[in-house]
Amino acid sequence: MKRSAVLKVIARALTMRNTGHYSYNETEHADLVLKELEDLGLIKPTHKVTITRRDIELMPYEDIIEVDGWGKE
């Protein structure tokens, strides 16, 4: 993707939240940018989770898998 295309995406999200006032919440702006990038498929959040599985003898063992979505905060 070109830099100009990324700038247009960010500008669109920031324009939607622009109230004309100097005081604003950067977290809300960043959230809009992040949502826009996710909707366009430019980023796909994944995180690793440890799960317990059982082998053929039913003995437990831990396995790390990667799942879609954001990790718990």
Report if pTM > 0.75.
Answer: no
Averaged pLDDT for residues 10-27: 62
Mean per-residue pLDDT for 22-49? 76
Check: CB of residue 29 under 8 Å from CB of residue 11: no
On whether residue 72 sits in a domain, the answer given is: no
- Mean pLDDT for the stretch of residues 44-59: 90
Residue 50 resides in a domain? no
| C-beta of residue 40 within 8 angstroms of C-beta of residue 34 | no
Three-state secondary-structure class, residue 70 = coil
Asked if residue 17 belongs to a domain, the reply is: yes
The domain containing residue 25 runs over which residues? Answer: 3-39
Q: What pLDDT is stored for residue 23 in this prediction?
A: 45
Distance CA(9)–CA(34), nearest Å, equals: 10
Assigned domain for 12 exists: yes
CA atoms within 13 A on the CB side of 46: 7
Domain annotation covers residue 44: no
Number of structural domains found in the chain: 1
